[in-house]
């Protein structure tokens, strides 16, 4: 894929970039590697000060950064601003909590291990490579970089090829706050250039947020190099509506859960699993609310749905919908690509989806909701878990017994009860099954890229 900013609302190439050649890639790896040594001599307090200053810089840039996100990948300007502010908040969160999260622990009774003292300590690993997607161009990177840098690691970013200006903005952000030059660097390289960087001996660990094939490919490299890897991959999250649900809130939340980020979030709810008792009422209201969303120019404050980020992404959505339609699914709203420039696709609701349709098993990365009718909680659970993914999940119920039933049995990295899946810096984030390996955010996220060293004194 060419490294370029192409406005998804118009299809126009705004700016193209030459990829870094091998010499420049080597120079950048060397720079980050030497910055890691400088970072190793710094304290939590110093790094916290730099991280807070970088958060201030990001907040000051909020309008400019938000416009850049909307230009490069088409999210609405209101959601772009929210992304930037959430990123700054998370930088402050790690500035304030990194030391506590990495404080290690002492054995209360060291004699048990024949020692006078025994304890653990977390140490930074070194240079970590982050391969990141375009859907949250700043947030995805910050949720890796803020904990990694606060732990004392240095970061190399290979961002998605369609968000090069976001990559270049992030290239200087942490330095602006005061981090040693080279603590964080972007590489403008295509996906085919990742393997060489991942195998470089100066790179000790890696993380990838993106699609399952990309994750499998990087994990294979990490395996053959015996390097630590964290994977945050796709999702096809269930959103279960039981008869005791507050239907008004469930419908309004279902619309937001499916269409946030123009339907291109890993934790968008993608499959709506509704008990027969409330199915008709839910479907009617959900269809009307999805149909009523304002689609248009993502730079406009009134727009609720912008274009999909790439032309190929829209083609994939069109193919998924056509496949379902041709095999007998019912489309209650949307389902037709609008005429005109840009990669728009309308909010779409589909029922009568069967396992023979691609939509049943594949992730729909666009504003397309599949609604399933189920008889009871056993069937709801079976449909919810009948996927290779396991990122997050949501269940709507007022019944404590139902709540516990789903919390215990949903195969997912998170369960949200009477709400939609959202990532918070305070809560671990990650998936099971094909949705990934490892966790980001919270204490668990910062510990992923640390050496947990045991110390024993005789």
Interface residues with ligand NAP (CB under 6 A)? 1, 131-135, 140, 158-161, 190-191, 194, 209-211, 214, 217-218, 232-235, 266, 363, 365, 391, 431, 436
Strands (E), 385-448: 394-396, 416-417, 436-437
Closer to ligand NAP by Cβ: residue 8 or 177: 8
Closer to ligand NAP by Cβ: residue 208 or 395: 208
Q: What are the CA-CA distances from residue 369 to residues 237, 286, 360, 406 (Å)?
A: 11, 10, 11, 21
Catalytic residues: 232, 266
Structure tokens at 249: 């809130």
Q: Do 157 and 142 meet the contact criterion of CB atoms below 8 Å apart?
A: no
Structure tokens at 455: 């110390």
Structure tokens at 120: 């653990």
Closer to ligand NAP by Cβ: residue 214 or 383: 214
Q: Do 357 and 323 meet the contact criterion of CB atoms below 8 Å apart?
A: yes
Closer to ligand NAP by Cβ: residue 242 or 435: 435
How many other C-beta atoms are found inside a 10 Å radius of the C-beta of residue 34? 16
Rounded to whole angstroms, how far apart are CA atoms 105 and 44? 17
Rounded to whole angstroms, how far apart are CA atoms 7 and 72? 6
Q: Do 346 and 381 meet the contact criterion of CB atoms below 8 Å apart?
A: no
Give Cα 304 distance to the centre of its chain: 20
Closer to ligand NAP by Cβ: residue 162 or 287: 162
The residue number whose beta carbon is nearest to ligand NAP equals 210
In the complex, minimum distance from the CB of residue 353 to ligand NAP, in angstroms, rounded to a whole number = 19
In the complex, minimum distance from the CB of residue 229 to ligand NAP, in angstroms, rounded to a whole number = 11
In the complex, minimum distance from the CB of residue 5 to ligand NAP, in angstroms, rounded to a whole number = 13
Instruction: Output b/e per residue, 291-328; b: 16+ Cβ within 10 A.
Output: eebebbbbbeeebbbbbbbbeebbebbbebbeebeeee
In the complex, minimum distance from the CB of residue 292 to ligand NAP, in angstroms, rounded to a whole number = 26
Closer to ligand NAP by Cβ: residue 197 or 247: 197
In the complex, minimum distance from the CB of residue 448 to ligand NAP, in angstroms, rounded to a whole number = 13
* 243 CB-side CA count, 13 A: 7
In the complex, minimum distance from the CB of residue 210 to ligand NAP, in angstroms, rounded to a whole number = 3
Rounded to whole angstroms, how far apart are CA atoms 128 and 183? 11
């Amino acid at each position: 894929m060419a490294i370029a900013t192409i406005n998804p609302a118009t299809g126009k190439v705004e700016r193209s970039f030459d990829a870094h050649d091998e010499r420049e890639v080597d120079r950048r790896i060397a720079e980050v590697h030497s910055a890691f040594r400088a970072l190793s001599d710094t304290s939590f307090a110093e790094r916290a000060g730099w991280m807070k200053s970088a958060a201030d810089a990001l907040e000051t840039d909020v309008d400019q950064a938000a416009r850049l996100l909307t230009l490069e990948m088409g999210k609405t300007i209101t959601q772009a601003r929210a992304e930037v502010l959430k990123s700054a908040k998370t930088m402050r969160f790690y500035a304030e909590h990194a030391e506590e999260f990495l404080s290690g622990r002492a054995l209360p009774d060291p004699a048990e291990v024949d020692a006078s003292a025994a304890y653990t300590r977390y140490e930074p690993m070194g240079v970590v490579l982050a391969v990141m997607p375009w859907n949250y161009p700043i947030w995805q990177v910050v949720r890796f970089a803020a904990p990694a840098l606060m732990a004392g690691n240095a970061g190399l970013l290979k961002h998605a090829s369609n968000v090069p200006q976001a990559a270049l903005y992030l290239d200087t952000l942490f330095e602006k706050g005061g981090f040693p030059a080279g603590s964080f660097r972007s590489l403008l390289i295509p996906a085919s250039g990742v393997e060489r960087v991942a195998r470089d001996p100066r790179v000790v660990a890696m993380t990838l947020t993106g699609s399952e094939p990309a994750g499998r490919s990087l994990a294979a490299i990490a395996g053959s190099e015996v390097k630590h890897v964290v994977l945050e991959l796709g999702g096809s999250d269930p959103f279960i509506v039981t008869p005791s649900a507050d239907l008004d809130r469930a419908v309004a939340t279902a619309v937001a859960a499916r269409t946030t980020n123009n339907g291109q979030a890993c934790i968008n709810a993608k499959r709506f699993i509704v008990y027969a008792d409330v199915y008709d009422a839910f479907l009617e209201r959900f269809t009307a609310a999805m149909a009523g969303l304002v689609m248009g120019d993502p730079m406009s404050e009134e727009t609720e749905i912008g274009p999909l980020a790439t032309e190929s992404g829209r083609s994939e959505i069109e193919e998924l919908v056509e496949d379902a339609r041709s095999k007998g699914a019912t489309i209650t709203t949307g389902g037709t690509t609008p005429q005109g420039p840009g990669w728009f696709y309308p909010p779409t609701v589909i029922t009568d989806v069967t396992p023979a349709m691609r939509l049943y098993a594949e992730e729909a990365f666009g504003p397309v909701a599949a609604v399933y009718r189920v008889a009871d909680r056993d069937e709801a659970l079976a449909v919810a878990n009948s996927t290779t993914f396991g990122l997050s999940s949501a269940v709507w119920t007022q019944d404590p017994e139902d709540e516990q039933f789903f919390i215990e049995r949903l195969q997912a990295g998170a369960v949200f009860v009477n709400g939609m899946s959202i990532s918070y810096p305070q809560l671990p984030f990650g998936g099971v099954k094909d949705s990934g390996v490892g966790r980001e955010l919270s204490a668990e996220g910062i510990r992923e890229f640390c050496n947990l060293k045991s110390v024993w004194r005789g």
